[in-house]
Amino acid sequence: MTLGTAAGPAASATGSTGPAGGLGGHLAAVTLPPCAARVEQAEAAVDRLRTAAVDAVAVTWVDNAGITRVKAVPLGALVHAAQWGVGAAPCFDVFLADDGITTSPSTGGPTGDLRLYPDLDRVVPLAAQPGWAWAPGDRHTQAGTPHPGCQRLFARRMEAAAAERGLTLRAGIEVEWVVALAGGPQDEPQYPTHGPAYGMHRLTDLADYLRDVLRALGEQGLTVLQIHPEYAPGQFEVSVAPEGPVGAADTSVLVRHTVRAVSARHGLRVSFAPVVEPGAVGNGGHLHLSLWRDGHNLGHGGPGPHGLTAEAEGFLAGVLGALPELLVLGCSSPAGYLRLVPSHWAGAYQCWGLENREAALRLVTGSTGERAAAANAEVKCFDASANPYLAVGAVLAAGLVGLDRHLSLPPEFTGDPAAAEPGSVPRLPTGPAEALAAFERSAVLREALGGPLYEAVLAVRRAEGEQYAVATPEQLVAATRWRY
């Protein structure tokens, strides 16, 4: 099925073999470079990493339950890993957040092997884990063809689908987390600071820790825009500069594991789980995005609402309309629905609004004078239990379909939707089953993900939905608090 007709001028530049304007093919974007080129790149990386006193490289991928999994190789084995990949069982595609394993029509059981290839364009020594470097991985088959269940390759395909239309997406994922004393009881987090929300008191209590987080992120080449205490007890947030969608997803993995490593060095345990205390404000994983063509931000200078161009409006309308099914990818854990409640700034309503922190889609224009660069939209309803590659890839898919179909945004909503006439603003799904039903109806996401990945996501969500179907909020929070 082809969902659109607009083939951008960059079609040949991506070398796409997929249908112009569709979401399916883009094989060139996910094909391994020739083996000789991989070896040459790996040898150069080994030289660089040896100089940085690196002993081993952690190669990560994020599974469909949102857990970052890893295979590590000593530096001496990096060239071999770049040549032939590192072994990874296909059944990782159907792992659950609690390490249970389900099955999907194409995955399950102990047989088979995939090869995890480190992306050496992104390899970096880890500042808070001396002797270690990190690289995100892509999964291919033993025959060297792209694994259809690879989430990072999916995000790359969607990035290529945008490039085919002459578009680039710039994205950034905000990271919120809660810190607790590492030695404290698991089921009753004890916080290292009792300062107020957004309070300087909290920053003062944990000044050395927060400085070390900033230093580590900076040493790893990340540009931090802001760090601050958040609303919930022991909660903080960091945001980094936007980049391409796959890069932003990689960065969100790197940021979280850097925060975790620095926290461990300070005797702290961290949680990126959607909810750490039942009833409290949770940890979001808001996705900021802006769409660009020929160096111009399409969210600025157009005739649409607040300066949106028609293309940006179509893209955002596509995203807004698909939010119920996008939650399956952007809000992976069933615990996410405990966070996604009104009046928690989590974006529980399917509406959009300028600077509206209760709208699932918040439009940000930036200050007068910097709007051409700063205008962006924020998907607020997502949390950090999401696989970030699935989240950015799926938002791209839904947005591109909205753009191809020239969709318009519904009227803007100003104020708190919770205070509006009941039923006048649609609530997003209030539980995983409702989101899953929307996902099962979504031809767009089914086509974009491709059968094996779509089926694996479905299997994992169904299994986790059943697992916690009768859990109380307290049980669900206890089961997920330290998993993310």
Residues that bind ligand GLU (CB under 6 A): 176, 230-231, 281-282, 284, 339, 344-346, 357
Backbone region of residue 431 per phi and psi (left: phi > 0; alpha: psi in -120 to 50; beta: other values) = beta
Tokens 């957004």 sit on residue: 198
Q: Which residues of 376-397 are buried (b: 16+ CB within 10 A; e: fewer)?
A: bbbbbbbbbbbbbbbbbbbbbb
Q: How far is the CB of 349 from ligand GLU (least distance, A)?
A: 13
Q: How far is the CB of 134 from ligand GLU (least distance, A)?
A: 26
Helix/strand number for the chain, H first, E second: 15, 16
Which of Mg ion, ligand GLU, none does residue 212 bind (CB under 5 to 8 Å by kind)? none
Tell me the C-alpha distance between 352 and 413, whole Å.
6
**Pairing label, strands 349-354, 359-364:** parallel
| Half-sphere exposure at residue 435, Cβ-oriented, CA atoms within 13 angstroms | 30
**Pairing label, strands 56-62, 132-141:** parallel
Contact criterion met (CB below 8 Å) for 382 and 346: no
Q: Give the residue, chosen from 63, 159, 237, 277, that forms a contact with Mg ion under the rule CB under 5 A.
A: 237
- Which CB sits closer to ligand GLU, 229 or 282? 282
Contact window for Mg ion (CB under 5 A) among 27-35, 75-83, 118-126, 231-239: 231-239
Which of Mg ion, ligand GLU, none does residue 281 bind (CB under 5 to 8 Å by kind)? ligand GLU
Contact window for Mg ion (CB under 5 A) among 112-120, 202-210, 235-243, 391-399: 235-243
Residue nearest to ligand GLU (CB): 284
Distance of CA 91 to the CA centre of its chain: 21
Q: How far is the CB of 178 from ligand GLU (least distance, A)?
A: 10
- Which CB sits closer to ligand GLU, 115 or 286? 286
- Which CB sits closer to Mg ion, 22 or 229? 229
Residue nearest to Mg ion (CB): 237
- Which CB sits closer to Mg ion, 174 or 212? 174
Contacts of 11 (CB under 8 A, 6+ apart): 20, 164
Contact criterion met (CB below 8 Å) for 297 and 375: yes
Which of Mg ion, ligand GLU, none does residue 357 bind (CB under 5 to 8 Å by kind)? ligand GLU
> Does 378 participate in binding Mg ion (rule CB under 5 A)?
no
Q: How far is the CB of 268 from ligand GLU (least distance, A)?
A: 19
> Does 358 participate in binding Mg ion (rule CB under 5 A)?
no
Contact window for Mg ion (CB under 5 A) among 153-161, 234-242, 290-298, 408-416: 234-242
Tokens for 189?
Answer: 């987090």
What is the binding site for Mg ion (CB under 5 A)? 237
